[in-house]
Amino acid sequence: MTKHIFITGGVVSSLGKGLTAASIGLLLERRGVRIRMQKLDPYLNVDPGTMNPYQHGEVYVLDDGTETDLDLGHYERFCNAPMTRACNFTTGRIYQEILRKERAGEYLGQTVQVIPHVTDEIKRSIDQLIAPDVDVIITEIGGTVGDIESLPFLEAIRQYRLDKGPDCALYIHLTLLPYLRATGELKTKPTQQSVGKLREIGIQPDILICRCEVEPTEDMRRKISLFCNVPKDGVLVEKDVDHTIYEVPLVLRDQDLDGTICRRLGFPDTKADLSDWEKLVENICHPQHEVEIAIAGKYIGLHDAYKSIYESLAHAGVRNRTLVKFRKIESEQIEDEGAERLLAGVHGILVPGGFGKRGVEGKIAAARFAREHKIPYFGLCFGMQIAVIETARNLCGLKGANSAEVDPQTPHPVISLLDEQKKKVDLGGTMRLGSQPCALKPGRALEAYGTPLIRERHRHRYEFNPAYKAQLEAAGLVVTGEHESLHLAEIIERRDHPWFVAVQYHPEFKSKPTAAHPLFDQFIAAALRHGQEHGGQAASHAAAR
Ligand code: GLN
């Protein structure tokens, strides 16, 4: 029988529920428990695909093309469980299905209501992951206990254990113990109150994980246990980690969270082998080199907007025993202050994915700066299209060359829409999405991947316009990767440059802390070489240490 772990959050948002859920997934997998991960998001968008990254952070894309919440990125980086469309549901998606059924007459004359119809649909979405080879489904409920919009989800998970029996599910609640600097103490009251809110709904948490800045005393743990009605071995502390988020699973393992979960759910009490993970943390804490990478994008103010990119750069850093420092640059600022002023001294330049007009000229200037100064360049999705526009304008003499997305009237649409995209009316879920096969020709990418056929995840509407391929290649920008059957350009490189690779897809969705993505790995290796050859501030700091 498949069992369930439901993870809720209380007191404040942004407690790191996704990270905690992913850590639990990792610990269980390392004990041989076969898991699935799932996130239920209370907002009304059908998926986050049309949301502004400043609202929601990055849109994380799965192999099957589902556009999901960024927490699924944590799940995939930490765990090996396959992720599909059944791993992320929003209120919007739940209601979409209910309204479809209502129009189809499937409710047979009933009044359609939050209870039981919405809660039943939520329970069905959890059930979608049940399978004979799944021991436990870890379901994270987005939002904070006490929010109006998360109520139906909490009600559904309450009913779930009632329906399936007391041993089928564990409730884990993540809370905060705020630290009052003035009095130098942690406070437990908000945790008590948030557990009280859960109990009002009828959910008694089995395990409490308390986020805090400083270690609580034994006495305090006893008090939390008593007031929240949670046995003492179920009160855990997740103190802020010193160096890296990848310490979180180790912190929880040290308090035997995985043991407690396995005992409660009736799984054999084996040991989790985390030696590679310990080595990972050790390597992160003791880098031998340092590089500085410029990220020239549009949503620089919010780390979550490029979450997977920063993580992938860090993974590549671990592989190269290198601390990767980020120089985050608003691309619009490059338009005002010039590339030289903002980019001088970096060891690599990365232009991330993006949409729309704002900041495009700054990104083009960044690509030009990388090309002309022979600084390693890595373009991701829009960052690839940007490199094409730059070469078209500055090396092919195609004045006004642009992407049709940015300038629909451009005389040279070097990036344009395929006919099938022109027919699409809706914005949600209509891009080229998900894993696609790409055949590689000799070049940096083939060197990095070491195999001629790869699969990578896409999320874009516009494409490299093949009408300009000959001209661009004559100018040194060669296509080294093409869609296996559709022959769309997926990778471009410069042969007259130490490392200039840009891809139409999103490699950042396939990097893991213990298995850096080959292109990120090679980009950081190239940045390191650049630093060694040209110096630069960050590298010499490392040398002096
Ligand atoms: N805006 C571009 C397109 O739609 C690039 C998308 C992206 O970077 N994800 O093709």
425-447 pLDDT, tens digit each = 777 777 889 999 999 999 999 99
- The number of angstroms, rounded, from the C-alpha of 401 to the middle of its chain's C-alpha atoms is 33
- This prediction has a pTM of 0.94
Query: Which pLDDT score, from 0 to 100, does residue 536 have?
Result: 56
CA distances from 271 to 33, 149, 177, 514 (A): 11, 39, 30, 20
Task: Give per-residue burial for 162-194: e unless 16+ CB within 10 Å, then b.
Answer: eebeeebbbbbbbbbbbeeeeeeebebeebbeb
Are the C-beta atoms of residues 141 and 154 closer than 8 Å to each other?
A: yes
506 in catalytic set: yes
385 alpha carbon – ligand 1 mean position (Å): 8
- Alpha helices (runs of H) in 402-468, residue ranges in sequence order: 419-422, 444-449
Q: Residue 7 and residue 207: Cα distance in Å, rounded?
A: 10
Q: Which residue puts its alpha carbon closest to atom 1 of ligand 1?
A: 355
Sequence letter at residue 120: D
State the closest ligand 1 atom to the C-alpha of 355, by its place in the atom list counted from 1.
1
Sign of CA dihedral 45, 48, 50, 52: positive
Ligand 1 nearest atom to the CA of residue 381, by list position: 8
Pick the closest to residue 464 from 490, 443, 435 (CA basis): 490
Q: Which residue has the tokens 């001088």?
A: 344
Please answer whether residues 378 and 498 qualify as being in contact, where contact means their C-beta atoms are separated by less than 8 angstroms.
Answer: no
| Joined tokens for residue 248 | 């979180």
CA of 383 from ligand 1 middle (Å) equals: 9
- Other beta carbons within 10 angstroms of residue 29's beta carbon come to 18
Q: Which residues have a Cβ under 8 Å from the Cβ of 353 and sit 6 or more positions away?
A: 380, 381, 382, 383, 459, 460, 506
For residue 504, the CA-to-ligand 1 centroid distance in Å is: 8
- Residue 463: CB within 6 Å of ligand 1? no
Q: How many whole angstroms from 460 Cα to the centroid of ligand 1? A: 4
| d(C-alpha 53, C-alpha 59), whole Å | 7
Name the 3-class secondary structure at 337: helix
Determine if ligand 1 sits within 6 Å of the CB of residue 355: yes
Q: Looking at ligand 1, which residue's alpha carbon is closest to its atom 5?
A: 382
- Give, for ligand 1, the residue of 382, 389, 405, 420 to mutate: max count of ligand atoms closer than 8 Å to Cβ: 382
The confidence score (pLDDT) of residue 269 equals: 85
**Helices 119-127, 91-103: crossing angle, 10 deg rounding:** 110
Cβ pair 524, 349 in contact under 8 A = no
- By most ligand atoms within 8 Å of CB, the mutation choice from 298, 405, 503 for ligand 1 is 405
**Active-site annotation holder among 76, 405, 456, 508:** 508
C-beta separation of 374 from 495 below 8 A:
no
User: What does the pLDDT read at residue 492?
Assistant: 98
Tokens 């998606």 identify what position?
93
- Establish whether residue 460 lines the binding site of ligand 1, counting it when its CB lies within 6 angstroms of any ligand atom: yes
Ligand 1 atom closest to 352 (CA): 8
Give nearest CA residue, ligand 1 atom 7.
Answer: 353
Kind of pairing, strands 432-440 and 453-460? antiparallel
Preceding amide of 48 cis, omega within 30 = no
Check 56, 173, 458, 506 and give the catalytic one.
506
How many Cα atoms within 13 Å fall on the side-chain side of residue 196?
Answer: 9
What is the whole-number distance in angstroms between the Cα of residue 410 and the centre of ligand 1? 17
Q: How far apart are CA 305 and CA 55, in angstroms?
A: 9
- Reported as half-sphere exposure (CB side, CA atoms, 13 A), residue 495 has a value of 11
- Residue pLDDT, tens place only, 494-531: 999 999 999 999 999 999 999 999 999 999 999 999 99
Does the active-site annotation cover 412?
A: no
Q: What is the DSSP letter of 434?
A: E
* Rounded Cα distance, 30 and 273, in Å: 6
SS3 187: coil
How crowded is residue 459: how many other Cβ atoms within 10 Å of its Cβ?
19
Which atom in ligand 1 lies closest to the alpha carbon of residue 383?
Answer: 8
CA of 413 to the centre of ligand 1 (A): 15
Angle at 437 between CA 434 and CA 442, to 5 degrees: 135
What stretches in the chain show pLDDT beneath 50? 538-545
Nearest-atom index, ligand 1, CA of 405: 1
Q: Rounded CA gap, 147 and 144, in Å?
A: 6
CA 454 vs. chain centroid, Å, equals 21
Q: Ligand 1 pocket, 405 CB below 6 A?
A: yes
The reply to whether ligand 1 has any atom less than 6 angstroms from the CB of 381 is yes
CA of 456 to the centre of ligand 1 (A): 15
Q: Is 458 in the pocket of ligand 1 (CB under 6 A)?
A: no
Instruction: Kindly state if the Cβ of 418 falls inside 6 Å of ligand 1.
Output: no
Q: Where are the beta strands (DSSP E) in 298-340?
A: 322-330
First to last CA, the chain: 55
Active site residue 482: no
HSE of 222, CA atoms in CB hemisphere, 13 A:
3
8 Å CB contact between 288 and 317: no
Q: List the structure tokens of 157.
A: 């998970």
Provide the token pair at 463: 């494409």
**Ligand 1 centre distance from Cα of residue 183 (Å):** 50
- Containing 479, the helix (H) or strand (E) segment is strand 477-483
CB of residue 353 inside a 6 A radius of ligand 1 = yes
- 406: CA distance to ligand 1 center in Å? 11
Do 236 and 207 touch, CB atoms closer than 8 A? yes
